Structure 1
Amino acid sequence: MKSRNIGYIPELDHLRLLAALLVFGFHFFHFNMGTWRSYPDQPHWGLITEGHTGVSLFFVLSGFIFMTIALENDEIRYGAFLRNRILRIAPLFLVVFIVAVSIGRDRFEATDVLYLLITNIGDAPTSWHFATGPAWSISVEFAFYLVFPFLALFTKERGSGFLVKALLLLLIIKLGAYLATDNSRHMLYSTLVGRFDQFLIGMLAAIAYARRRPVLERRARLFFAVAVVLVFLGAAVQARWLSYLSPEPKQPLGIIWGSVEASLWGLAVVSYLSARLPWPNWIGNLLAKGGERSFSLYMWHAMIIYIVHELVGPAGATGGLALAFHGIFVLTLALMFASLSFAIIEKPFLDMRRRYTDQPSS
């Protein structure tokens, strides 16, 4: 996604596409298998059975991208920043919200309109049906937008230690929230309390990349290989001991897991950008185009999964190979629909964005 505030980095779009694909795989697998349960006996499939980790990657990328912009510019103009963010997410989100309340028209109440501001707690209309369920994360993302310019300013004034102290503060808050709630698993997964550290870790990753880039690039391929292994092992650990789909509502490891998960993705982001893998042009361009449409893919993929499921039937009982081919078919349809959504809903508003930073004085 090209920005008016930073030079285009196609690798970031590659990672956006990866995040959307992980969430797609998670939803496709569980919806077609019809189980929505954990698979602790198969941790090697963690990136699929716990593919919701793609949401964590999205949050880390947000922190990374915006902090990179802040480091390369003198000032972020708050009003202009929020205007751009609203133009980026509001049009598509509003369409999905309207679809959600239309699906649930018989249970809709006037006060449900307030869920436009908070879709990740309570009985939000977007969570009434699987087809619009992914929209829950938008409220968490936008809450970060509201405070990011201040976080960036304070970090530039006080150094990265400010973010480290903020993470310590959040850890203590998480501990208190864990002790105070009966369903800490769900609370840590879907609320700002459980997720805000992931944005901060993305910001720290941006600072590390900016400061250590020459060192990182000298051993980038090795660094990237290690990061891939660690992300795989992290997903396996989550599948084995900390599944979001576990029936256990109190999971002590969850207090720190959001930070651990984000740190692994932060390593992956920094190492992938440093490695600059020599993709053939057509593959690199394809990945970048997919990343450009990743928001539409994320927001609509569940609906496409549901439509195909209703028209064709589940694929879970037909064996692993058939499930994989069915997944490719559904993903192709989802990508096609995402491209249409991007062109009709997103792109016209994206073209209205303006620069919100002041460049450094020469």
Structure 2
Amino acid sequence: MKSLNIHYNPRIDQLRWLAALIVFLFHFEVAVRGHGAPALTGPWWGIVTEGHTGVGLFFTLSGFLFMQIAQRQGTIRYRDFLRNRILRILPLFLVVFLLATSIQRDRFQAQDILYVLATNLGDSPTSRSVVTGAAWCISLEFMFYLVFPFLARFTLEQGPRYLVKLLALMLLLKVAVFHENERSTLMYFSTFVGRFDQFLIGMLAATLYPRWEPRLVPHAAWLAPVALLLAIANSAVQARVAPFTAVHAPFWITWSLQESIVWAGLIVAWVSVRQRLPNCIERATCHGGKVSFSFYLLHAAAIHTLVRAVGVPRVTGTAWADTLLLGAAVYAATWAIATLGYGAIEEPFLNLRGRYGDKAATVAPAQRDGATVG
């Protein structure tokens, strides 16, 4: 997705595609589990069974990208930044929120409209249905947008140590609240106390990246697969020690930190890769990144509609093969729906956005025609 505030980097879109894919696999596995699909057992399936980690990649990537923009622009105009962010997420998010209130019309109360600001808390209408449940994280993302220009300014003034201080404070808060909530896993998973450090880790990685880049680029081709393997291994550790089904586990105090650190490692390694992928893969993954917001918010609707209607088909006679066939079909349908959602809802609003930094990024005319990310 191209930006008026920073040069386009296809690696960022490819990472968005990966994050959306991981979340898709997570929800698809949950959906087909009761329809004859073989169970995924063993911790090394954690990247799927604990595929909520894709949200951690999204959050870390947000911190990384916006800090890169801040470093390039020097100063961010707060009003213009928020205007861009509202145009970026609000149109499609409101569609999903209205869909949620339509589904729950008989339970709707006037105060539920306030959940548009806090979809991650309480009995949000979006969380009452699996079709709209993915919207829980949008409130956390927007909270980050509200404070990011200040965080970026202080980081540019004080350097990485400012972010380290914030991370230390966040860790202390995590420890302090562990025994204050009997369902601490859900608290760490879906609230400020458990997630905000992931944006900060992304910002820290972006701040340090210019120092590392000269040494990373020559080795990035092998560092990126290693970084991905570390992320898979981290999910395996979580699946074995304290999966999402664990209601109250000390592991979750540091879970978001370690998850974000391994994703930050993949981000800095992958953006350092200079070799192009085969053209068809490059174009497909970049498109997947471009439509990843629509894909993320709409994928559950596609999964649960098709899985309920079809179930796991008996085509090959092998449960694994039949599940893979269904997964490919559902993924293709989700891809088409996401592309439609992007073109019909996101893109017209994206084209209304402008620059919000003091330095005008030099963007080629062809890039100006695309949607912006910043």
Same fold (TM over 0.5): yes
Q: Is the 2:167–2:197 Cα contact (8 Å) retained in structure 1?
A: yes
Distance in 1 (alpha carbons) for counterparts of 2:10 and 2:23: 21
Of residues 215-224 and 42-51 in structure 1, the stretch that sits farther from structure 2 once superposed is 215-224
Residue of 273, 276, 280 corresponding to 1:275: 273
Aligned position for 1:230: 230
Residue 221 of structure 1, CA deviation:
2.0
235, 249, 262: which one aligns with 2:247: 249
> What SS does the corresponding residue of 1:357 show, helix, strand or coil?
coil
Q: Give 1:274-313 correspondences, 5 Å limit.
A: 274-313=272-311
1:80–1:356 CA contact under 8 A, matched in 2: yes
Q: Quick one: distance in 2 between partners of 1:254 and 1:337? A: 34
Equivalent residues in 2 for 1:58-137, closer than 5 Å: 58-137=58-137
Question: Which amino acid in structure 2 is aligned with residue 272 of structure 1?
Answer: W
Structure 1 gaps, min length 5: none
* Residues 132, 298 of structure 2: 8 Å contact kept: yes
TM-score by length of 1: 0.95
CA distance in 2, matches of 1:135, 1:189: 14
Alpha-carbon shift at residue 314 of structure 1 (Å):
4.8
Q: Structure 2 counterpart of 1:185, which letter? A: T
d(CA) in 2 for partners of 1:190, 1:277: 37
Displaced runs of 4 or more, over 4 A: 314-318
Give the fraction of aligned pairs with identical amino acids, expressed as a percent: 49
Distance in structure 2 (CA, Å) of the matches to 1:315 and 1:249: 34
How big is each residue's C-alpha offset from its partner over 1:277-300, in whole Å with a ceiling of 9 and x where there is no partner?
A: 430122211111110000000000
CA separation of 1:227 and 1:137: change in aligned 2, threshold 3 A:
same
Supply the AA of the counterpart residue of 1:74.
G
Quick check: 1:50 aligned with 2:50? yes
Q: Which residue of 1 aligns with 2:257?
A: 259
State which drifts further: 137-146 or 220-229. 220-229
Distance, in Å, in 2 between the alignment partners of 1:240 and 1:41 is 10
Counterpart of 2:207 in structure 1 is: 207
Q: Say if 1:151 and 1:125 are closer, same or farther in 2 by CA, change over 3 A.
A: same
Post-superposition Cα deviations, 1:87-109, rounded to whole Å, max 9, x if no partner, equal 00000000000000001101000
String of CA shifts for 1:239-293, please: whole Å, max 9, x gaps. 111211x2x3111011011000000000000001112343012221111111000
What TM-score results when the alignment is normalised by the length of structure 2? 0.92
**Deviation by residue 1:314-356 (Cα, 9 ceiling, x = unmatched):** 5699722211110010000000000000000000000000100
1:14 partnered with 2:21: no
Alignment correspondent of 1:166: 166
Q: Distance in 1 between matches of 2:274 and 2:228?
A: 15
Q: 1:264 to 1:100 in 2, by over 3 A?
A: same
Count matched residues: 356
Shift of 1:222: 2.8
Deviations 1:40-80 (A, max 9, x none): 95111111111110000000010000000001112100000
Equivalent pair of 2:100/2:126 in contact (CA under 8 Å): yes
Give the AA of the match of 1:226.
V
- 1:198 has 2:201 as partner: no
Q: CA RMSD in A?
A: 1.7
1:290 counterpart letter in structure 2: G
1:189-221 CA-partner distances (Å, limit 9, x unpaired): 000110000000000111122222111112212
1:313: Cα distance to partner?
A: 2.6
Equivalent residues of 1:33, 1:315 under 8 A apart: no
SS at structure 1 position matched to 2:131:
helix
2:337 aligns with 337
Residues 64 and 204, structure 1, Cα contact 8 Å, conserved in 2: yes
Q: Quick check: 1:75–1:357 contact (8 Å CA) kept in 2?
A: yes
Whether contact under 8 Å (2:312, 2:322) holds in the other structure is: no
Aligned counterparts of 2:101 and 2:164: Cα–Cα separation in 1: 41
